[in-house]
Amino acid sequence: MRVHEARRDLYRRLAREQGYRSRAAFKLIEATEKYRFIAPGDRVLDFGAAPGGWMQVAAELVGEEGLVVGVDLHPIRLRGRNIKEITADVHDSGVGQRVWLALGGSQADVALSDLAPSVSGVWELDQGRQAELTLRVLELSGRLLRDEGYAFFKLFEGERSQEIRNEFKRRFRAVHTIKPRASRSVSSELYYYCEGWRGAGTAERGGHPEGHDPS
């Protein structure tokens, strides 16, 4: 068995043993252990949340006083007093309003994005679509993420990678690259931990997402 296959099987086994819905949970665990960006009582947004592994980890970290809102095209069906889910496409015009209401009309402390498109097999196309999904999360974060908030993004490395990294650096005070151990060594995905959200290039702060009044 190749090294990357053995590593993949290890994290799948650990996920089953520890009750996580996906091996991806260990990517977020490693990042939060290193950077400590999810704290008790935090409000966390998770875009591309299905099947729910990251939501499980975030819910454990925020505790009963916190809240995790997961968004995905597919139902997540994860139970918990501090968990809410929204079944929607992030490109839907009303998704920002739905998230705002799920947060109780307040901003989140942390935004997570593990979004990926349906893979076509044409890498340039897939990487471009994934880049657009990431840009959409940045757009939504303009109103949904608090000043000085944190984020953790997946990014497919490719032709548009530098463009997206420049956006991270423009919108956050600091950006750190991480390749979690649970990622396959042959995978082109990298993760970016970003801190100090400043929302550069987004809509005017202080209003409601996408210009809607929640009333």
Convert the pLDDT of each residue in 50-85 to its tens digit. 999 999 999 999 999 999 999 999 999 999 999 999
Task: Out of 11-15, 37-41, 173-177, 201-205, pick the least confident.
Answer: 201-205
The CA distance from 212 to 16, in Å, is 42
- How far apart CA 20 and CA 64 sit, in angstroms, is 19
91, 72, 65, 66: which is closest to 21 by C-alpha? 72
Question: What is the second-level CATH architecture of the domain 3-211?
Answer: 3-Layer(aba) Sandwich (3.40)
In this prediction, residue 46 carries a pLDDT of: 98
73: three-class secondary structure by DSSP: coil
Q: Any idea where the domains of the chain sit in the sequence?
A: 3-211
Residue 154 is a catalytic residue: yes
Going by pLDDT thresholds of 50, 70 and 90, the confidence category of residue 214 is very low
Q: 84, 154, 169, 179: which is the annotated catalytic residue?
A: 154
In 70-82, which positions are buried (b, 16+ CB within 10 angstroms) versus exposed (e)? bbbeeebebeeeb
| Element containing residue 111 per DSSP (H, E) | strand 108-113
Given this model, what pLDDT does residue 91 score? 96
Report how far residue 9's alpha carbon sits from residue 4's, in angstroms, rounded to the nearest whole number: 9
Residue 76 DSSP code: -
Write the pLDDT tens digit of every residue in 130-181: 999 999 999 999 999 999 999 999 999 989 999 999 999 999 999 999 999 8
Q: Which pLDDT score, from 0 to 100, does residue 16 have?
A: 83
Distance between first and last Cα of the chain:
57
The share of the chain scoring above pLDDT 90, in percent, equals 73
